[in-house]
Amino acid sequence: MTRAPGGAAGARERSFASTFLRYWLPAVVYVALIFSVSSIHGADLPGGFPNLDKIAHLLEYSLLGLLLGRAIRYTLAGRGQAAAVVSTILLGAAIGVADELYQRHVQGRSSDIRDWMVDVAAVAAAVLLTQWVSTRSLRSRAARAAREGNR
């Protein structure tokens, strides 16, 4: 039995589409959400306590770091753990710069390098935390397997 021409290409296209939907679409949608929140006029933002905006940046960019890290880790597998971490942080930093530059053009909003620094720190912390948890989990699984193998 022979394979139909183009069968492998069709499988690759489906694989790309399912990979994009599963790993990249959540990150893309979340970036759109970040920019939609950045579109809120300054007068419409809730008040509160000092540095509330830094906490908001910390939370939103930590989640972005998790989503980007997941997408990069699972779609660029085989390039190395360090490459995935650096790529995630660089992409998160670029999105943060774009967000800050975009806010310059929104009425009542401003661009602040300290916000961007919090964005980058949040992405980096989220990615490094997931790498630490993942590495720790792999080590404990390996140790458990070694103990079970010795029985």
**What would the pLDDT profile of 46-64 be if each residue is shown by its tens digit?**
667 777 888 889 999 999 9
**What would the pLDDT profile of 117-147 be if each residue is shown by its tens digit?**
999 999 999 999 988 877 666 566 666 667 7
For residues 21 and 138, give the distance between their C-alpha atoms in angstroms, rounded to a whole number: 27
What is the helix (H) or strand (E) element at residue 63, kind and residue range?
A: helix 52-75
| CB contact at 8 A, 119 and 61 | yes
Q: Provide the whole-model pTM.
A: 0.76
By CB neighbour count within 10 A (0-12 exposed, 13-18 middle, 19+ buried), where does 102 fall? middle
Question: What residues contact residue 3 under an 8 Å CB cut-off, 6+ apart?
Answer: none
Higher pLDDT, residue 140 or 95: 95
> Percent of the chain, pLDDT > 90?
48
